[in-house]
Amino acid sequence: MNSNPADSAGMTQLVRYVLTIDNMCAPDCAVWVREQLTGLGLVVDRVVVGEAEVATAHANGPDLKTIQAALEVGGYQLVRAVTKVG
């Protein structure tokens, strides 16, 4: 049986989240947030004060409730999340 790489390319879509995070006001906060998001298995593209951009290629990657719970451990609140698929 022949396998076409183009056939398997559509099996997993990249899911990207742009997260707005409240109470994240200093560079050391960004370090903690990055560690938590990485610990969830997310690829962290960018973390700045008040915002993070992350991605996962896993269909069973962490959902927004899981991300929110991880942030709340450090006293941060997920205010908004924009999800982009593809």
Q: What's the mean per-residue pLDDT of the chain?
A: 85
How does pLDDT run across 2-13, given as a tens digit for each residue?
444 444 444 568
Model-level pTM?
Answer: 0.80
DSSP element (H, E) containing 36: helix 27-39
DSSP annotation of 26 reads S
Instruction: State the pLDDT at residue 60.
Output: 76
Report yes or no: 73 and 46 within 8 Å, Cβ to Cβ: no
